[in-house]
Structure 1
C-alpha cells in the first residue's frame, strides 16, 4: 500500500478567514504572525480569550479558549474531576484546568 500525498491550494489563509470573522463582529484581535491570531470576546457571563494556530505541516487549525473563570485552589481537585467527566462525553477537544492561572480552558 502506498501513502498518497495530496497537494492543496488555498485562495485565502485559514487564519485570514478567522480575522475577517473577528473584524465583522467587532471583536478585538491580535495577529502574532501569519499563522496565529488571538481574539477576545465579551460574553454575557464571562470573557472568552480564543487563540487559533494554523499548523501547515498537519493542515490543522489548533484552537484554545480560556474563560475568565478563576477556580479557587481549594476547589481544583473537584473541578478536575468534573472536567474529566465532561471530557468522557466529548467527541472532539477537551477541557483543562490551567493550574498556573487557575483558569478553565478548552482545546481542540
Structure 2
C-alpha cells in the first residue's frame, strides 16, 4: 500500500485528552463509531486530541468531484458538531462514555 491514491480528510478537536480520561475517551470512541457509516473518530496519541477522519479512494488516477469533496466536508462537520459535546462531557466533566453519548444523542421533538 505504498502508493495509495486517496483523498484523506482529518479534523482535530481543540480538546486535549488527559491520561486520566484516556480510557473513557477510548470507550466513547467505540460507541460513537458504531453510530457512523462514513468516517470515524480516533485518538491522535502524539497530540492527545480527538480527531475525525475519512478517506475517499481514488484508485487508477480517478479525481474527486466537487460533490464528493463537499459531501466529505459536510459529513465531517456534521459528525464533529454532533459528537463534540460528548467528548467534552467525558474529558472536562468526568462523565462516563455511555452517559456522554446518551446526552449527545438526545433529540427534542415538537415546538416550544
Q: TM class by shorter-chain length?
A: 0.3 to 0.5
Q: Which has the higher strand share?
A: 1
Q: Which has the larger radius of gyration?
A: 1
TM-score, with structure 1 as normaliser? 0.44
Higher RCO (CA 8 Å, separation ≥ 6 residues): 2
TM-score, with structure 2 as normaliser? 0.43
